[in-house]
């Protein structure tokens, strides 16, 4: 069974993951309105991935005979001055999620909750990938600068992103 502190912290993480999904969906809407459909696709895939992360926590809490408590989500930001600003915001959010996962690991270690620590290791690794994938787009956008041709090419590249199969991680 989960301690009350761990259960509360895991429930907070569910909210953070659903909030991330909500934010990425808002970013997708921004990109769709800007007719950058490849960028929108990237954000849609990311929103689905974050929703999947929330559900992993949801199922884990239930498997440990805990009670899932869902909370209201704050309205996400909906406007950015550029694709670069949107991706910089995405990176800041991923860094916040990474810090939260690290805090969960620290709590699991403090409470000698080896099962939760083991469960969280997938998320530790996932956050490295999350930050790197967002940062890669940021670096491309910085190289492109004001080039509309470069933005067009990157938009076409991002249109090819597909959801990843995470079955092996479950």
165: confidence class by pLDDT, cuts 50, 70, 90: low
What is the mean predicted confidence (pLDDT) over 3-17? 97
User: Is residue 20 included in any domain, yes or no?
Assistant: yes
**Global pTM?**
0.92
User: Is residue 74 included in any domain, yes or no?
Assistant: no
Q: Tell me the C-alpha to C-alpha distance, in Å, between residue 102 and each of 13, 19, 76, 79, 120.
A: 11, 18, 24, 30, 9
> What is the domain-level CATH number for residue 141?
1.20.1260.10
User: Is residue 105 included in any domain, yes or no?
Assistant: yes
4: confidence class by pLDDT, cuts 50, 70, 90: very high
* Alpha carbon distance 47, 4 (integer Å): 29
What was the pLDDT predicted at 138?
98
What is the mean predicted confidence (pLDDT) over 102-107? 98
Q: Collect all residues with Cβ–Cβ distance below 8 Å to 18 and sequence separation of at least 6.
A: 50, 51, 54, 70, 73
- 128 has pLDDT over 60: yes
User: Is residue 170 included in any domain, yes or no?
Assistant: no
* Alpha carbon distance 114, 120 (integer Å): 10
Q: pLDDT per residue over 55-82, tens digit each? A: 999 999 999 999 999 999 999 999 999 9
- 167 has pLDDT over 80: no
- The whole domain housing 120 covers 4-69+80-164
Within 113-166, residue ranges assigned H as helices are: 114-144, 148-158
User: Is residue 8 included in any domain, yes or no?
Assistant: yes
What is the tally of structural domains in the chain?
1
- 106 has pLDDT over 60: yes
Nearest alpha carbon to residue 43 among 119, 122, 133, 109: 133
What was the pLDDT predicted at 164?
80
- Report the share of the chain in percent with pLDDT over 70: 96
- Report the share of the chain in percent with pLDDT over 90: 95
């Amino acid at each position: 069974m989960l301690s009350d502190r761990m259960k509360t912290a895991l429930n907070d993480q569910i909210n953070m993951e659903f909030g991330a999904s909500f934010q990425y969906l808002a970013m997708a809407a921004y990109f769709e309105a800007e007719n950058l459909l490849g960028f929108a696709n990237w954000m849609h895939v990311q929103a689905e991935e974050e929703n999947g992360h929330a559900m992993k926590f949801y199922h884990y809490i239930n498997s440990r005979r805990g009670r899932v408590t869902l909370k209201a989500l704050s309205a996400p930001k909906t406007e950015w001055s550029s694709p670069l600003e949107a991706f910089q915001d995405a990176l800041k959010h991923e860094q916040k999620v990474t810090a939260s996962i690290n805090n969960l690991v620290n709590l699991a270690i403090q409470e000698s909750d080896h099962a939760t620590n083991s469960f969280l290791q997938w998320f530790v690794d996932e956050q490295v990938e999350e930050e790197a994938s967002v940062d890669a787009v940021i670096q491309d956008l910085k190289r492109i600068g004001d080039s509309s041709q470069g933005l067009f090419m990157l938009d076409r590249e991002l249109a090819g992103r597909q959801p990843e199969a995470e079955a092996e991680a479950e």
